[in-house]
Structure 1
Amino acid sequence: MRRTCLSCTSLVRGLAGAGLLAASSPAWAADDPLATLTSRFMFDFNRHELVTLAMAASVLGFSVVSAILLMRTRQRAAAQEAQLRADVQTLQAESDRFRALLFAEPQVLISWSAGDDRPQISGDTALLLPQEVANAQPQRVLAFGTWLPPEPALQMDHAVDALLDKGEAFLLHLTTSTGRSIEAMGRAIGGQAILRIRELSGIRRELADMSRRFKSLQDESEMLRGFANAAPWPIWTRRASGELSFANAAYARATDASSAADAVNRNLELLDSNDRGNLARALNDNAQFAARLPIVVSGERRYFDVRALRLSGGSAGIAVDASEAAALGAALVRMAEAHRRTLDQLSSGVAVFDAQRRLAFYNDSYRRLWDLDRAFLDSNPDDSSVIDRLRAARKLPEERDFREWKKKLHEAYRAVEPEKAIWYLPDGRAISIVTTPNQEGGVTYLFDDVTESLELQRRYGGLIDVQRETLDNLTEAVAVFGSNGCAQLFNPAFTRMWNLSPEALNNRPHIETVEEWCRPLFDDAVSWQALRSAITGIDDRKHVLLKLERKDGTVLSCKTMPLPDGATMLTFLDISDTENVERALRERNEALETADRIKVDFVHHVSYELRSPLTTIIGFAHLLGDPSTGPLNDKQSEYIAYITSSTNALMAIINNILDLASIDAGAMTLNLGPIDIGRAIDAAAEGIQDRLARDQITLDVEIDPAVGEFVGDERRVVQVLYNLLANAVGFSPNQATVTLVVHKIGAKVVFTVTDAGPGIAPELKDKVFDWFESHSQGSRHRGPGLGLALVRSFVELHGGKVQVDSVVGRGTSVICEFPIEPSAQRNAAE
């Protein structure tokens, strides 16, 4: 920054410039620069006067006037010059007097004038700079960093900038790099910026030092007060009389005060009366107080660590919230107790010896394991005493050199890592011991009776050997893969089946590697993917059953079995022979189904083809038997009767076949309506009257009066009853009784037809309802085997069902159930 200034001398001479016109004597001008300037001005004035006179000479009438004016001007100039000389002398004297007064004490003045780029520096610059520098380069004073430490120099620089830019005054007390105390004062006076720097001495120096100390103490006090107010802990000070003199915001919050000032004004107490009394007594006796006390804050009881000190003018205190620490301490105690209770519940014996090798803790399992007296253990015996007592009771291993064994055992007190060992006791027990060094010193002994465990290990090893022999002798190929997908176990059948090397499988290859080895025989990506997923899957572990047809023609049944330990067992069974037999049976079954379908289709076709010529024969037989066509002899009438009887029987068979065909094709529909059961039975019985009379068979009909009517196709119900009765009459012996019983069970009407025939063998019961199944044994006539098939079809079409109850030698009962409600019939039919 450029600074411009004028010295006090220049200021005085500037003021004397007002008397320039009074300087006319050249001799005086030679002695005084101000006179020189005046003389030069007068010289310039005379030159202009000559020019004027010359011009006046050429103009008539003006010469006289000019001469008079010139004389008067000279007189006035002489009078003004004399007055100016007197004023300059006066001002010079005052300037010298002010200068003497101003620099009576060592100081430096720096002034900046408006519009002047260079500041003027006056005074004793040696006060701030070395003598040689001050004489040669006084402007170095403006480089504040050359004679001030960095921080005061920066402060000075900012103050001068504010003075020059905004006219802001300042007063600074600083210490130079040489240790001098100075005062820097800046002011804006008369359009100039003045900076005065002077050394402080005597009372002024003491006052400056006191001001600095006061400012430092004030800053420190404000900082401490700000810290106290910002601290989250209640902080307070009290006078010697006990009244509250200071409280921070946390104290105000703890005492429910509106502010810290409110807490001080109302003298609110943080502690209760008893705690305050204890605190006051402690301060009077020991000059300090420390305790953990309960304090109610915002309606919540909390614990605080209260610290108080006695001071010269009273006391000061602080309360730190220790609720969390107290809770943690209580939790630690509870945890230790829980740890002890847990150790007491362990089946393992635990004994903890401290750094002095004395028993610090033991659990009940330890006492029971070694059968030691509780009083002895509670006396905190040392480690050697416990070992000696156990040895006396022959409960330690019998060692040849007991001292060396005991010494090695006690090396655990100097060890870093835990040590494990097994003691085989004289009583046959095996005890596992783990010695663990404690961080705070001492050793923890952990004892476990592993007698049964070792026995189980021996048994387990035997079971593993048996398992290995069993697997090796299985004809089924078995491989076990772990949860990581690597092979763990396999038998020779597995290696032979897939042509694998046992040595390669012993390296525990992954399932993907085994898959690559097996692909030459079976290369189905989908099947291998399913096996990989079953073996390596984590969440969805389920059984997978596959049938693999290898390239060599072998058919394998593959199955995966998830095991409890996360492994998966993979088994392969050669089912080539079974598959060949099954294939042959399947092909035979398909051939039989095809033949049966061809048979049914042939019967359907033949039935339709026979119906037309049969209708013609029946028509001509009726026409020949009609008397209107002409008389016939007895022989012809007999033949016509045979033709009519045979064609009627054949027509009935064909109608039955067509009905079955319609039902089988789903084209049969029922003409539903109310059915009179008695009338339907009479219509059905009328068709077998000739057989009943011929074979002397009695038809016994029993109808439950509660049955009434039911809804169905009467024509088809009559067909059902006719076929049942005809079948029963056909298998009944002469002079037998056929029974037809009708009763109601719930929402069903049940028809039961019973004969006294030879019965049906158990192996034939399931075939009596098949087409063309006619068992003529015990029957007086052969039929096409369609009656019972038609019965079942019509009953099921109504939504009912048919059952056969037969005992060989005791007759047969056919039971037909029809639903009463039409809706039930339709739903069942659908």
Structure 2
Amino acid sequence: MLPLTEVLLVICIAGLSIVLVTMGLPTFWKRAALPQIQQPEPLALLFDQGVLHHGNETALRAFSLAPGTHVWDDLRNLLSDRFPDFPHHADAAHDGPLTLFANDPAAPQQVSIGWRGDFCWVTLDKASAPTKARPALVPPTEFEALQATCDTAPGPVWHLDEAGALCWSNRAYDALHKSVLGAQANPAELLFKAADTSNPDRYPLESATPGKPDWYQVTKVNVGAVTIHHATCISSVVAAERAQRNFVQTLANSFAHLSTGLAIFDRKGQLVLFNPALVDLTCLSAQFLSVRPSIVSFFDQLRENRRMPEPKNYRTWRQEISDVIAKASDGQYRETWTLENGQTFTVTGRPHPDGATAFLIEDITAEVALTRNFRAELEQNQILLDSMHDGLVVFTASGVLSLSNAAYQKMWQHQPDSAFSDVTIADAIALWRGRSCDGPDWSEISCFVGHRGGRQSLSMAIDFDDSSAVQCTVSSLPSGATLVRFRPATERAGEYAEKGLISAD
């Protein structure tokens, strides 16, 4: 058995342990069951002269604000719905701090505003985040998003079922339906009924201006048993196309009376405009030109119709055509075509805006023939003048030598055609004076040539150093020209012939 003292000691220790356990255990369980809960961080923002200077991360994320970028008005726009008395400006318009309460009774949050100099503090609970800020909004459902998108679409959108009946439409379609058919019209009545015969995707609708309908481009997409329609107003496009057609028609009417053939090719090389003269000159049928042939096909057909010079080498024909097109695009192509039938064409290629190219074909057969006949007459007249014994020389109204015969050239040893510049009356008088004796008043001839009024013929004798002489006669010609004739004296004509001054015939 244990001693009595030890029994008493064990009893005391056990009792003390029971007391300690009884007193400390509730406190221990209380701390374990109720841990310390951290309070939410308040939303705090600091403004400097109305510009956001700083803010804690929670506030910046909740309001979607950035320091240095957003200003006081941005915060006010976010809070004005719940705090109507929120200050309009960040300056100290109130004495001391300002506390505002939200107007929503279910959320009585408050916002505190304080000022110190140019600085302004704004503090509010996280629960009072802005109703206008996107992070605080509940994300819309997919249906709501699609419905909002369709209702705000600027163009009409509608659905038709398999039977072709209207089963859904957006607000733009409904508004257009009321505008065109009237408010009392049956909503199920289709708005877009009759399409354009030339373009089935375009539909005209009556507008406020009589005779000028509004045009819409309608696209269709089949989704299951429903056909979705989208309409876009293209009235401005249709008006522009009509103006372009009218302009082209006006040009065509203007070019129809030209004798020069005109062919205009667009930037793709397709014929877009031609006039009747082109048909007459090229012998190309209007049917062929109306199908808008390419430039290469156009020239190929010209070669087939023998309306252009026959190529010397058929292998390089395509390359020659490419060179023609390239030169025409640079505005450097101009050639004269002589055809087998005797006709002569002048072909000019010129660039036009937006990469277009125009070819002008002009029949110059008459001009060429006239030029040839004129040259033949000149040559014939020259032969007649050269057959005369008298030396003849003609000066224009400006005093420039324009014509002389062989007798003159032999008599004065002068070849005007070989001169590097124009021979004037002063140059001729200097030559005559140097090859003759003193005596004639050469100034009279000079004044006669330069006189513009009525002129009387002059006649004077000219002696040479070899005692020979000629009779000089100065006469007026039409258009202010002057004829100077040097006729050898009759009694000494044979002597002049022996000296070679005139022909012996």
Name the TM tier (shorter chain): 0.3 to 0.5
- TM-score, length basis structure 1: 0.26
State the TM-score, normalized to the length of structure 2.
0.42
* Structure with bigger gyration radius: 1
> Which of 1 and 2 has higher RCO (CA within 8 Å, sep 6+)?
2
Structure 1 or 2: more helix by fraction: 1
